[in-house]
Amino acid sequence: MTRDLRKYSRQTQNRLILGFLALVFFLGDGLIYLFWGREAALMGLICLLLGLTPAVLVWGFLILLDWLVRKEQEKRE
């Protein structure tokens, strides 16, 4: 049985990010809904999604670069 610490680290980081996003979206938007109502919660959700867009684009670009680098490394081997 081998231990792949990089895989474990990546998996842990992904779970932490997903947990953070779940807290922000469900708890944060839920509190907005509770205090100010449905319309404010909808606007909060729109703002959260628009604010998250640049981070998702950067993340996608980095994944694309990682895939391209791995593909080039496989060609050279």
Of 52, 53, 29, residue with least CA distance to 42 = 29
Q: CB-hemisphere CA count at 13 Å for 64?
A: 6
The pLDDT of 25-46, averaged and rounded, is: 96
Number of domains in the chain: 1
Residue ranges making up the domain that contains 14: 5-76
Question: 54: which 2 tokens?
Answer: 């640049």
Rg (CA), the chain: 18
Mean pLDDT of the residues in the chain: 93
To which H or E segment does residue 13 belong?
helix 5-22
When mean pLDDT is compared across 4-8, 26-30, 37-41, 49-53, the lowest value belongs to 4-8
Beta-carbon contacts of 34 under 8 Å, excluding residues fewer than 6 positions away, are none
User: 76 falls in which pLDDT band (50, 70, 90)?
Assistant: confident
Per-residue model confidence (pLDDT) at position 69? 95
